[in-house]
Amino acid sequence: MFGKQDGKAPELDVAVSSRVRLARNLKSFSFPVKLGREQANRVLETVKKAVVGNTKLFDGNMMFMDMSGLSPVDKQALVERHLVSPDLVEKQYGAGVLVSRDETVSIMVNEEDHLRIQCLFPGMQVHKAWKLCDHIDDVLEQELGFAYDSELGYLTCCPTNAGTGIRASVMLHLPALAMTGYINRLLEACGKLGVAVRGLYGENTEASGYMFQVSNQVTLGRTEEEITEGICNVAGQIIEQ
């Protein structure tokens, strides 16, 4: 369900998965919201060419899927496996995803941004996810060239993602805290710490099955290491509770 499972993953009884996602845009194209069909398809092919067969990325062993060629069932399966977002499967053209064979990495193309690079590991492994995501980011930046400003950092479609463009999150299973009502106090505390708590499928989704996704709200003004460490600390405290 969440990438390649490992029964020995740390804190697996509470922390279902750890994810790091980077938002990036190609400097030679407009943001996805401004792309027509032809330009969107050009972005898709440009990214596909840079990833598929690239020996620096999983020895070139990345699968490509065009959203326009998938059935509704296949699209839903990708969403449920957390390889793509619900928004990506709704795109009418120029959208796709590249996935590693073990499903630890997925790269969404033309969702809200040109690229959403995601690394997903079971249990509490935020730092491991960040290390892999950082490597992929370095490789693709050399191949594609990302939109970057010396003051603002990486430029994104939504201003809340600008700067580092990173979202680090941990999916937590918290039935006892939810049933006792103690979860409300934790949610309030998280908000004061600049941490967002969302549902099973991320932004704009509700918690179901007592699953809560804890992630950073701030991407600008802090380093990636500070952000990932902060999420690890907050998730660790919730796990103790």
Predicted structure pTM score:
0.88
Structure tokens at 193: 């710490």
Query: How is the chain split among helix, strand and coil, in percent rounded to 5?
Result: 40, 25, 35
d(CA 130, CA 232): 12
Query: CA-CA distance, 42 to 22, in Å (whole number)?
Result: 21
Q: 90: Cβ–Cβ under 8 A, 6 or more apart, which residues?
A: none
Beta bridge partners of 117: 22, 107
- Tell me: the pLDDT tens digits for 32-65? 999 999 999 999 999 999 999 889 988 878 999 9
Beta bridge partners of 118: 21, 106
Q: How many residues does the chain have?
A: 241
Q: Are 125 and 5 within 8 A, CB to CB?
A: no
Helices (H) and strands (E) in the chain, counts: 7, 10
Question: Quick one: how far is CA 45 from the chain centroid?
Answer: 21
Q: 10 Å Cβ neighbour count for 23?
A: 27
Sheet with 62-66: strands ordered across:
62-66, 96-100, 105-109, 115-122, 15-24, 166-173, 211-216, 195-198
**pLDDT tens, position by position, for the chain (241 residues)?**
444 545 577 788 899 999 999 999 999 999 999 999 999 999 999 999 999 988 998 887 899 999 999 999 999 999 999 899 999 999 989 999 999 999 999 999 999 999 999 999 999 999 999 999 999 999 999 999 999 999 999 999 999 899 999 999 999 999 988 889 888 888 888 878 888 887 654 454 455 678 999 999 889 889 999 999 999 999 998 998 8
